[in-house]
């Protein structure tokens, strides 16, 4: 996350916190005029990244939409992993239909996995 501090603000924050702020450091407490958005539970935990007003920001999504997104991603992961494994019971039929050895039929599983892997670059 990009820090939007000028050098004077950064120096003031470093002085108040008594620490050096290196790139990549997230400030987890209110300092001087910088007040951060806290979580809803009322604790002093600072939300990183800070939520925006954009409705497309995942931090602003409704609970239902977040759950549906997680379920969709989980189902996609399951079905992509399940596809190549579903070929194994069909090996005898592949051997008969394509007149090949068991090793050649098993290589088809590897081809299926490679196609699924490289299709992510096309998507």
**8 A C-beta contact, residue 46 and residue 37:** yes
Full pLDDT tens readout for the chain, 123 residues: 455 667 777 777 778 777 787 777 777 666 766 666 656 666 666 777 777 788 888 888 899 999 999 999 999 888 888 888 888 898 999 899 999 999 998 898 888 888 888 887 886
Mark whether 67 and 54 lie in a shared domain: no
Mark whether 30 and 4 lie in a shared domain: yes
Mark whether 6 and 56 lie in a shared domain: yes
Mark whether 37 and 69 lie in a shared domain: no
Mark whether 8 and 47 lie in a shared domain: yes
User: How many structural domains comprise the chain?
Assistant: 2
What is the rounded distance in angstroms from the CA atom of residue 52 to the CA atom of residue 101?
Answer: 58
* Tokens encoding 10: 């950064």
Domain enclosing residue 83, as ranges? 62-122
Mark whether 1 and 47 lie in a shared domain: yes
Mark whether 35 and 75 lie in a shared domain: no
**8 A C-beta contact, residue 55 and residue 65:** no
Residue 89 CA, chain-centre distance (Å), reads 33
Cα-Cα end-to-end distance for the chain = 27
């Amino acid at each position: 996350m990009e820090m939007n501090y000028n050098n004077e603000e950064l120096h003031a924050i470093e002085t108040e916190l008594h620490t050096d702020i290196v790139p990549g450091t997230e400030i987890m407490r209110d300092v001087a005029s910088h007040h951060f958005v806290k979580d809803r539970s009322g604790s002093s935990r600072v939300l990183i990244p800070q939520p925006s007003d954009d409705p497309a920001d995942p931090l602003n999504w409704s609970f239902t939409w977040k759950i549906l997104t997680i379920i969709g991603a989980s189902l996609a992961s399951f079905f992509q992993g399940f596809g190549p494994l579903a070929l194994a019971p069909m090996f005898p039929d592949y051997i008969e239909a394509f007149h090949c050895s068991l090793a050649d039929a098993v290589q088809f599983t590897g081809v299926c996995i490679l196609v699924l892997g490289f299709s992510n670059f096309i998507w």
